[in-house]
Amino acid sequence: MSKVRFTFSILTLAILTLTITSIAQAQATRTWVSGVGDDVNPCSRTAPCKTYAGAISKTAKDGEISTLDPGGFGAVTITKSITINGGGGGQGYGSILASLVNGIIINITDAADVRKSVRLDWLNINGASTGLDGIRFVAGNALHIENTLIDGFTGDGIDASFSAANTGTQLSVHNTTVRNCVGSGIKTNAAAGGTIKTVINNVHVTRCGVGIDQVNGTIGSITNSVVSLNTTGFQTAEPTSGSIANIDTTTFSNNSGTAINVIGGSRARIARCNIFQNGTSLAPAASVDSGGNNSIVGNTTNTAPAGTPFPQN
């Protein structure tokens, strides 16, 4: 009897091993989705899946999901390093309709995933005025967002907020529009004792509560961007950890409250910025350092930078 049990255990282990191996081998480095696909398919070029959620389980870590044609590909939770390419350059435009839910959640905690990096490119994420957050980044090392439109959320357009202190997490946003969000357009919060490093370039944030909101330990740069028609344009704060913002060649216009608001011991450094038609240009001015060549005019209250000037080299 014991011999039979032993044999049965060996067979069970062998079947389990083969099953796991089969699943791992089934994951492809590159998978495909199409508006006319089906999630029962293997997500190959000729037999694409229907949704990003359907494709992600069939895509290997560090792989890529590519979009063949325009379509609605559904909300998705990402738990491994991956690229989702919405198919720019004529291939299509990856649309995610996220009414009543988050559009994309990134939550990578697997210790074996060394990169813990997500790349999102050419996506149209539509909250339909009822969605929660457009992109919610809660765990991982790096998030890169390019060529993307995020619109119509009751929370934040992009929310990189961590419940536990993290060090050196990276957020890069390039060539992207965020609009019509009740919360913040782009929000970062490293939690007490943590840091987030951000690069925001060629980004337009409009009609949000706070256009760009840095909370707790964010060290970042904003360049060649437009922040307009929000309640507050840009805000940096430090309930527990100070933040530093370096802002260059960016326009803040028609924000009903303050264009650049600095709270506590955080700092904002500005150079070559245009600050027009806001409620207040800078507050407090003593927390804003200037490299010069800023244009500040037409605000209800015009305040000039009164922090430490830094030289043009």
pLDDT < 70 positions in the chain: 1-26, 89-92, 164-165, 239-241, 312-313
Q: Residue 220 has what pLDDT?
A: 92
Residue with structure tokens 């998978």?
31
In whole angstroms, what is the distance from residue 18 CA to residue 217 CA?
46
Q: Residue 163 has what pLDDT?
A: 75
Q: Residue 90 has what pLDDT?
A: 53
**What tens digit of pLDDT does each residue of 164-179 get?**
667 779 999 999 999 9
Asked whether 93 and 70 are in contact (CB, 8 A), the reply is yes
Residue 191 makes CB contacts below 8 A (sequence gap 6+) with: 161, 162, 163, 164, 165, 166, 216, 217, 240
pTM beyond 0.95, yes or no: no
Asked whether 171 and 143 are in contact (CB, 8 A), the reply is yes
Domains within the chain, CATH numbers bracketed: 2-297 (2.160.20.10)
Distance set, CA 279 to CA 101, 222, 303, 308 (Å): 33, 21, 11, 24
Q: Residue 140 has what pLDDT?
A: 94
